[in-house]
Structure 1
Amino acid sequence: MTTAAHPLVTRARQLAADLLSPRAERVDQEGLPASHVQALKDSGLLGLNAPTKYGGAAAPGAVVRETAEILAGACCSTWFVVTQHYTPVKLLASADLPVRERLLRPLATGELLAGIAYAHVRAFPRILVRATPERGGWRFDGTVPWYTGWTLNDVMLLAGVSEADEVVFAFTEAREQPGLRASAPMRLAALTAARTVSLELDGLWLPGEAVVLRAPREEFALVDRPRNANASPAVFGVAYAALELLEGSPDAKDTARSLRGRLDEARRESYALWDHPVPHERFEERLAWKLRAHDLMRAATTAALVAGGGRSVLLGNRAQRLAREAMFLLVQGQTAEVRRAHLDHLC
């Protein structure tokens, strides 16, 4: 870890130690409480990547990644809800539109928490959500298969694809309204606590001033592709949390030492690629280190299960929770291209 002196890293560690980690097994079984969200809003962490002009911290990438590691290693469900927030903030910061002046400051200061509903755009050529110009705004129809943070988020960033093959991003309130209906919360093998639902859109109309970006789908894909090739900081967070368990087991210290050295290397190389000035370059190298990080996360969480013995199969056991969270991270944000590469890697 290299950014310990930054105040937001210190704040994340304190939040993890005092609240998130001690209650993680309970949250995993009972759901993420609104009090966790309020603690995050109060912490200043929601403004990590927001401009200082709007009340944010404008933290460097290394700080953003390290806070993600800390939160994911302490309580992956909490991390998964809060990580959705940063894309809307980043998008608003780069948009010279009225919606920025309306939403960026409350999102940066923690007054509001945002979620995202756009992963379905990656399913192209299937169009799961169609955006159609109507009455000076946009009408959205279709299904959002995954939306995380329902009843916890205040606003959502929604995307659809137009007949002109343009991706349209717009903000709306994260609640049921005419044209928007949520399913019951999904029961998942991991991160059920993050309150994930699917959304049915049937004529949801949003005004033109709600739009934050319109971009040709191919242009969006060019920006989105390297994002999914990079190793997620959450992978390192969960892996390091498993190593901490291993290091507390007398029989597993050598295993922990070996895995930690390899994990440190993967982290260092992966983050150097995150900081590369041209995001869409060195794609294959990014993907190779992502898969290496996944291998090490699986090894670390499996080793923690083995070291824990029979206790590891108890639902309230930390090693077992980390192993399920690792399983989740293998497919989180997955594209067809990443899936094919991962399967080839496992041959």
Structure 2
Amino acid sequence: MAGPAVPSRDDTEVLTETTRVADELLRPRADETARKGVPRGHLDALAAAGALGLATRAPALLRQATEIISAADGATWFVYAQHHQPVRAVAASDNQALRDRWLTPLLTGRTLSGHAISHLARPGPPAITATPGTGGGWALNGRIAWLTSWGLADVVLVGAIAPDDRVLFVLLPAEDLDSPQAVHRHALWSMHATHAVAIDLNDVPVGRDQVVSMPQHTDWLRTYLNHNANTHPAVFGSLRATTQFLGRHETFKAWADSAKLRADQLRARAYTLIDTQPPGEAVDERLATRAAAVDLALRTAAACIAAAGARSMSSDTTAARLMAEASFHLVHGQTPQAKDAYAQLAGVRCPLTHCPHTRPAPT
């Protein structure tokens, strides 16, 4: 474990310090970070700003911090984003011993976390299973197809399918998953810097003190799908970065101004839906808004390529990085419903997602 313990900051202090870290550390090094990988020092600086302790505070505060960080450096943002779900899970756990051990280190950023849960939303046989063992323990088997923050995270929240259609969520020290034969590093063209790996689990033991929760799979899946119908704030961070880039090129200033205005409209709609509508309601509108925001981010990032010209074909340029970061939002938190909404926005009939018809983009 690493990173400073910090006192609780109020909302204004958190945003001020997070902005300072973004401006002084993350943004100036973003192109280098995309090539070399996110360093732990970036997360420690965000921890010192109080930004790693926002999962249990007002959602609007985390949204603002997310936009600030993702606008400065998309790779650091995605590693940062992995931390919040484990924090929420530990904070809500009935396991008092687990909360006592981990919650404060997680909230202060002295402990950095990652998670492996998206496989629980995929159809077909379980990717990871949990088999009951002696003394109330468990054994995990299968493959974590995607784990971000490998080599940075101290602990990992892992979800596995247990008997009776329950999901066993456990918090494991990262070293419990590590072995030369088990870890397979991904080669990525987008977000390569986020230390993404696949990990094979062969009878990995889990003690009772490591169990976070055991909800019904159907209940968890409903919550997951409802959450991922929303537009992620990082999309608006991406738009901040691309419109700022375009604003420095005279030919594209009008594009930048138009994109800023449209982004503000979509942000207002997205956040109003989150703040005023219960989860599970207005799902079509949420999905359409998400698709429109991602589409705007992609088109504006493509304009950055055009503005920069032929030199943007080099993978180490800012324009290329912005294009790769915007493209990532096509698959981040993707569900069949989100894919369907994007296909309809693009005017494409998609038999794989059973699109009943096409419709114009929302205005």
The answer to whether the superposition gives a TM-score over 0.5 is: yes
- On the 8 A contact 2:287/2:337 being kept in 1, the answer is no
1:171, distance to aligned residue in structure 2 (A): 0.6
**Residue 49 of structure 1, CA deviation:** 2.3
> Paired residue for 1:73?
71
Match of 1:92 in 2: 90
1:297 paired residue number: 297
Deviation string, structure 1 residues 96-140 (Cα, Å, up to 9, x no partner) = 322111111110011100100111101133310011111111111
Structure 2 counterpart of 1:202: 202
Amino acid of the residue matched to residue 321 of structure 1? R
Letter in 2 for 1:92: V
User: For 1:315-334, what aligned pairs fall within 5 Å after superposition?
Assistant: 315-334=315-334
Deviation at 1:342, TM superposition (A): 2.0
SS of 1:25 mapped into structure 2: helix
Alignment of 1:1-347 (within 5 A): 6-50=12-56, 58=57, 60-97=58-95, 98-135=97-134, 136-177=136-177, 182-276=182-276, 278-346=278-346, 347=348
Give the CA deviation at 1:70.
Answer: 1.1
RMSD after superposition = 1.7
* TM-score between the two structures when normalised by the length of structure 2: 0.89
CA distance in 1, matches of 2:83, 2:265: 29
Q: Contact 2:18 / 2:46 at 8 angstroms: preserved in 1?
A: no
**What SS class does the counterpart of residue 171 from structure 1 fall into?**
strand
Question: What is the distance in 1 between the residues matched to 2:104 and 2:180?
Answer: 26
Measure how far apart 1:180 and its partner are. 9.7
Match of 1:53 in 2: none
* Structure 1 pair 7–297 and aligned structure 2 pair: CA distance change class (3 A): same
Relative to structure 1, is the Cα distance of residues 116 and 215 closer, same or farther in structure 2, using a 3 angstrom cutoff? same
Identity rate, percent: 33
Q: Kindly provide the amino acid, as one letter, of the partner of residue 104 in structure 2.
A: R
Secondary structure of the corresponding residue to residue 200 of structure 2? strand
Give the residue type in structure 2 aligned to 1:16: A
1:302: Cα distance to partner?
1.0
Q: With structure 1 as the length reference, what TM-score do the two structures score?
A: 0.93
Q: Secondary structure at the match of 1:275?
A: helix
Shift of 1:38: 2.2
Secondary structure at 2:139's aligned position in 1? strand
SS in 2 for 1:145: strand
Helix, strand or coil at the partner of 2:138:
strand
Counterpart code for 1:19: L
How far apart in 1 are the matches of 2:107 and 2:75? 21
In the TM superposition, what is the alpha-carbon distance from 1:13 to its structure 2 partner?
0.9
Q: Distance in 1 between matches of 2:250 and 2:178?
A: 59
**Which structure 2 segments of 5+ residues have no match?**
1-9, 349-363
3-state DSSP class of the match of 2:168? Answer: strand
